[in-house]
């Protein structure tokens, strides 16, 4: 079951943890980060099994060249994991133009460019698996994370369409939907909007209201068996929740949505003409 895997954002968080797990079990891994020096220890330990690559995922030309380099180095690619990205915190009104554009460049366009670069390789092979690190926040929204939500909703939209477009080529698509984990998502890699005092009260109660207390966060290392099972699956799911909180809340949120849509059904049908 040895796989050849291309993974972005592999120098920290889930990316680092999963990369180490792949290598430990014998997979071949091409791992990217803005600075490939972050992989020095892994390169020394795993030799030809590991290909460290510097990559800015917002540079489309560089993305295509880097994915092709990985394919030529290993001869094929089985799995591409779009893990790179970061969080933006702040109410919608608080997040400025540059911050918004920058996070869309990374979380949406970077993911799209890597996906587009991998597809010709997968089509030629007649097989492949595209894995997008989305989030439960690509399925429903949280206050003060609206711009981050928007990036993940966008990834969900094109990835769901993509799955239908490429299934006859032998290509699978999976979106991973983690709930909160004790990674650095909210730490040094995160960007914060310009605070507006009007939202202070909301922010002070948000953790308790939305299940964001310390005990609600999962352990990142517990995700490893799930990821290994996913990439080994012959029939992987379109979406995979990670953690015990995401699916129950999704069920509640969508039950409420369906009830509201049903309540307005007559208005909707009358609008058909």
DSSP helix, strand, coil percent of the chain (3-state; round to 5): 55, 15, 25
Question: Is pLDDT above 80 for 211?
Answer: no
pLDDT score, position 189? 73
User: Over pLDDT 90: what percentage of the chain?
Assistant: 89
List the catalytic residues. Answer: 134, 148, 152
Q: What DSSP line would sit under 19-62, residue for residue?
A: HHHHHHHT-EEEEEES-GGGGHHHHHHHGGGEEEEE--TT-HHH
**pLDDT average, residue stretch 31-58:** 95
Instruction: Give the Cα separation of 81 and 31 in Å (integer).
Output: 10
Q: What pTM does this model have?
A: 0.94
For the beta carbon of residue 13, count every other beta carbon within 10 angstroms. 21
* pLDDT mean over 205-229: 84
Mean of pLDDT over the chain? 95
C-alpha span between 202 and 236 (Å, rounded): 39
The pairing of beta strand 79-82 with beta strand 128-133: parallel
SS3 (DSSP) at 241: strand
């Amino acid at each position: 079951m040895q796989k050849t895997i291309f993974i972005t954002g592999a120098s920290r968080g889930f990316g680092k943890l999963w990369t180490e797990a792949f290598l430990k079990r014998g997979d071949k891994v091409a791992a990217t980060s803005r600075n490939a020096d972050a992989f020095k220890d892994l390169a020394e330990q795993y030799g030809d099994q590991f290909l460290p690559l510097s990559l800015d995922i917002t540079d489309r030309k560089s993305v295509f060249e880097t994915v092709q380099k990985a394919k030529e180095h290993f001869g094929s690619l089985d799995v591409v994991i779009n893990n790179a990205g970061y969080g933006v915190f702040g109410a919608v009104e608080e997040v400025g133009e540059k911050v918004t554009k920058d996070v869309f460049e990374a979380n949406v366009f970077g993911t799209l460019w890597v996906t587009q670069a991998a597809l010709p390789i997968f089509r030629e092979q007649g097989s492949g698996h595209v894995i997008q690190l989305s989030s439960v926040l690509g399925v429903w929204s949280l206050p003060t994370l609206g711009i981050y939500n928007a990036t993940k909703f966008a990834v969900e939209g094109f990835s769901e369409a993509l799955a239908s477009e490429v299934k006859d080529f032998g290509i699978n698509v999976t979106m991973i939907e983690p709930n909160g984990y004790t990674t650095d998502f909210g730490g040094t890699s995160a960007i914060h909007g310009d605070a507006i005092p009007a939202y202070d009260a909301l922010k002070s109660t948000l953790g308790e209201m939305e299940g964001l207390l310390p005990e609600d966060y999962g352990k990142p290392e517990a995700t490893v068996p799930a990821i290994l099972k996913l990439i080994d699956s012959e029939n992987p799911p379109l979406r995979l929740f990670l953690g015990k909180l995401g699916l129950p809340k999704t069920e509640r949120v969508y039950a409420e949505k369906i009830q509201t849509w049903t309540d307005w059904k007559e208005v909707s049908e009358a609008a058909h003409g």
